[in-house]
Amino acid sequence: MEGDLKIMKIIKELYCPIDINMINEVIRNSLSRSVKGYSRLWVLRFIVSCIDLTTLEGSDTDYKVENLVYKAVNPDEDLPSVAAVCVYPSLVRKAREVLSKIGNKDVKIASVSTYFPSGQVDWSIKEKELMYCLSEGADEVDIVINRKALLQGDYDLVYSEVAKAKEICNKYGAHLKVILETGELPSYEHIRLASLISIFAGADFIKTSTGKITPGATLHAFLVMLYAIRDFYYYTGNKIGIKPAGGIRTSNDAINYTIMLNEILGDLFINPKYYRIGASSLINDVVAEYKRMKKEND
């Protein structure tokens, strides 16, 4: 308890108002950057390796997940596998079976949990779902923060739920991604606070959105989260990953996020260990552009 109080004190010390003009200026400068030629080919390959290829629909079937896994392992003959496939808890076992059949050990199985996307149930129910995901074979779990508690100022509860989820994930050797659902947070200050609470509570990644509301990922929210990760890194020396998700559909979108990541956090974070992109249709656009550019440059 004393340790938690100390951490909450640190979070309050790192919390600060957001300069909107500064945020806008950084984004304008970042969007003015261009990546061309062989550098763009490299970035496109890198983006593929960072994708969490996702299907989260009520109509998902075993057949759909099987096709998703094959696509994840082999997006194109000249491209790497994606980082992970992300599915609902009931389909984790199927995804694991298909990966085992293929013999691929690089692609991770991720699942959403804790009553995704709303999180509006008691922790005891969230805990059961989380343990179910992990027992079915998930390597990574994307949970949602308790936005109700955050917006009501019960920051201790937000912290507690993330910390308990992290403790469970540690028992299974799994990674924890914490979704802020930035589109439901009313200010950049709320986004920073949610980021810091999640990071100090043990998140391996912080993630923008569930993809189930509008807006999903935005460069503004992403930038605020990047600054929180940077401040945590300066304060502790520990690196935390980030995952934009929700509405990222084109290679240009993904490149814009990747440029900003590099400008704020630097080369140390240009790695799928610390950067993921949650998407379902993005890979089609990236593969198409990569094949076109490669043909032009050969």
Report the b/e string of 85-109 with b at 16+ CB within 10 A.
bbbbbebbbbbbebbeeeeeeebbb
Q: What is the pLDDT of residue 2?
A: 44
Q: What is the pLDDT of residue 1?
A: 43
Q: What is the pLDDT of residue 76?
A: 93
231 part of the active site = no
Angle in degrees, CA 81, 133, 58, rounded to 5: 80
Instruction: Look up the domain containing 97 and give its range.
Output: 11-297
pTM of structure:
0.96
Of 52, 139, 142, 285, which is the active-site residue? 142
Exposure of 115 in the CB half-sphere (CA atoms within 13 A): 15
Report which secondary-structure segment, H or E, holds 207. Answer: strand 205-207
Residue 158 is assigned to a structural domain of this protein: yes
Residue 160 is assigned to a structural domain of this protein: yes
Angle, helices 123-135 vs 155-172, to 10°: value is 20
- CATH code for the domain of 245: 3.20.20.70
Residue 4 is assigned to a structural domain of this protein: no
Cβ atoms of 181 and 216 within 8 Å: the answer is no
Q: What is the pLDDT of residue 169?
A: 98
Residue 125 is assigned to a structural domain of this protein: yes
Residue 6 is assigned to a structural domain of this protein: no
Exposure of 101 in the CB half-sphere (CA atoms within 13 A): 10
Q: What is the pLDDT along the chain (298 residues), one digit of tens a residue?
A: 444 777 888 888 888 899 999 999 999 999 999 999 999 999 999 999 999 999 999 999 999 999 999 999 999 989 999 999 999 999 999 999 999 999 988 999 999 999 999 999 999 999 999 999 999 999 999 999 999 999 999 999 999 999 999 999 999 999 999 999 999 999 999 999 999 999 999 999 999 999 999 999 999 999 999 999 999 999 999 999 999 999 999 999 999 999 999 999 999 999 999 999 999 999 999 999 999 999 888 7
Q: What is the pLDDT of residue 8?
A: 82
Report the b/e string of 248-270 with b at 16+ CB within 10 A.
beebebbbbbbbbbbebbeeebb
Q: What is the pLDDT of residue 47?
A: 98
What is the tally of structural domains in the chain?
1
Of 108, 139, 243, 253, which is the active-site residue? 243
Of 204, 207, 253, 285, which is the active-site residue? 207
Strand partners, 85: 53, 109
Residue with tokens 């994307």: 142
Nearest by Cα to 7 from 169, 230, 158, 187: 158
128 part of the active site = no
Report which secondary-structure segment, H or E, holds 147. Answer: helix 147-151
CA pair distance 273, 240, nearest whole angstrom: 9
76 part of the active site = no
Residue 2 is assigned to a structural domain of this protein: no
Residue 138 is assigned to a structural domain of this protein: yes
Say which residues have a Cβ less than 8 Å from residue 108's Cβ, sequence separation at least 6. 83, 84, 85, 139, 140, 175
Residue 239 is assigned to a structural domain of this protein: yes
CA pair distance 109, 174, nearest whole angstrom: 10
Residues in the chain: 298
